[in-house]
Amino acid sequence: MVSSLRTHRHAHYPPPWFSVAPMMEWTDNHYRTLARLISKNAWLYTEMLAAETIVYQKDNLDRFLEYSPEQHPIVLQIGGNNLENLAKATELAEPYKYDEINFNCGCPSPRVAGHGCFGARLMLDPKFVAEAMSVIAAHTDAPVSVKCRIGVDDHDSYNELCDFIYKVSSQSPTRHFIIHSRKALLNGISPAENRSIPPLKLKIYDKWGINTVDEVNAARRAGAHGVMVGRAAFQKPWHTLGHVDTAIYGAPSSGVTRRQILEKFQVYGDSAVGKYGRKPTVRDVARPLLGLFHSEPGNGVWKRKADAAFLHCTTMKSFFEETLVAIPDHVLDSPIGEPSSGAVLLSRPVGRLLAKAAGVAEKQKVKINCDTKKEDMGVALLLGLHWPMGRNQVLKGERTLLTRLVWPLQPTLHQACVVASSAIAFSVPVRSLTWKLKLRRA
């Protein structure tokens, strides 16, 4: 299913069954370096880069676009509303060989969607989005995708979303849509409020939980496409990313420990600190590490020591020497676990959602520790529905209930995915949009 979405550029990379969402000021080079040290297979997204930033900084591109080869597979997200700048930005980014170019049509920030007139506001102009995607695709060999919301302000009906996807996909080469399942409110509220005030339209049935790898594999055979995780992957990187390779991609455990990861990160960090004059600082580079010991003994002391060390440490080596004394050796030297026939606890509530799109060896067990009260985690479950479904077992919304997917069973129509989650983002890779959902009032 996924192979048709990829080109020769990244044909040797694993499918995007698990991705870390693009997050402004979070998924920078420092975080992505840490994430890749923990998981070799997760797909990583950059922060959104405005096309104008790339164009105007063309003599300083490495600062914004450079990344280590180890970060593959990696997706560049760009934003903008000027076709000429989008073309130039994509062309300037092309030598960096990102594995996909994603266009931001979902950011609700007043600075972006308001003053900048791009991001989520572009959902109101699908014709322009189609033109933008055509321009972007014409200047890269990589696949292109759109990340948007389920709607904007009062334009949040299912038909309007379908119309947006249909127009963009039919008028451009775009075949991959990542859709955040809250609408965007463009009345000046903050991005944080946009993650909580607009009601979620979709919700996972608790009864639809998956508890064994056999069920995971059954979900994959039924069309599960992948999982996208946002803030949980930043706030708890060890717990969220630690089982991705084994539990989702079926790879043998690396056995890597946090001490080993920090030793490698120190080498990277000391080469990065001060690379561009006064930036980045030790604080900038070390920021992604602050969740590495989440819920572990010594975590609180470690963070307090880190805050103090940021005031005077000028190298990552001195930072670690001053702070890691707070973490017990057994925590530093405990390896990433390998799923076995016993139980494996996954991060809550990420665990339940990870399992839904996992692909691991047969007959292994996965026990899910899920706190459904903590759902604002930026997690996305992507469900590819390949045939008509007759039971109300997947999606439930505040106003609508999915009752049946009417699907023309043709070889060219197997790419569409419908997604639900608690965050919510979802991805809809499509080759044709001759499909519909029958909805009734819940």
Which pLDDT does position 156 carry in this prediction?
Answer: 75
Cα separation of 219 and 352, whole Å? Answer: 13
Look up residue 149 and give its DSSP letter.
E
Which pLDDT does position 301 carry in this prediction?
Answer: 97
Which pLDDT does position 159 carry in this prediction?
Answer: 85
Which pLDDT does position 343 carry in this prediction?
Answer: 30
How far, in Å, are 71, 251, 359 from residue 218 at the CA level?
30, 19, 9
Give yes or no for a contact between 148 and 179, defined as CB atoms under 8 angstroms apart: yes
CA angle 241, 289, 225 (to 5 degrees): 20
Which pLDDT does position 212 carry in this prediction?
Answer: 33
Give yes or no for a contact between 45 and 20, defined as CB atoms under 8 angstroms apart: yes
The reply to whether 105 belongs to the active site is no
Give yes or no for a contact between 67 and 32, defined as CB atoms under 8 angstroms apart: yes
Fold adopted by 3-204+382-441: TIM Barrel (3.20.20)
* Residue-wise pLDDT tens digits, 181-194: 667 676 654 444 44
Domain ranges, ordered by start, for the chain: 3-204+382-441, 258-332
pLDDT tens for the chain, 442 residues long, are: 223 334 446 568 988 878 888 998 899 999 999 999 999 999 999 999 999 999 999 999 999 999 999 999 999 999 999 999 999 999 999 999 999 999 998 777 555 444 456 678 898 899 999 999 999 999 999 999 998 888 887 767 788 888 988 999 999 999 888 877 667 676 654 444 444 444 433 332 222 333 333 333 344 555 556 667 788 889 999 988 888 888 888 899 999 999 999 999 999 999 999 999 999 999 999 999 999 999 999 999 999 999 999 999 999 999 999 999 999 999 999 998 644 333 333 333 333 433 333 333 233 332 222 222 233 222 233 333 222 333 333 333 322 222 222 223 222 222 223 332 323 233 333 333 333 333 333 3
Cα separation of 36 and 392, whole Å? Answer: 38
Q: Which of 66, 78, 77 has its CA nearest to residue 30?
A: 66
Query: Residue 25 is encoded by which pair of tokens?
Result: 């000021």
Cα separation of 424 and 364, whole Å? Answer: 28
Catalytic residue among 107, 148, 313, 370: 107
Which pLDDT does position 375 carry in this prediction?
Answer: 30
- Partners of 436 in the beta sheet? 406
pTM, full prediction: 0.70
Three-class SS state of 346:
coil
Cα separation of 406 and 388, whole Å? Answer: 5
Which pLDDT does position 180 carry in this prediction?
Answer: 74
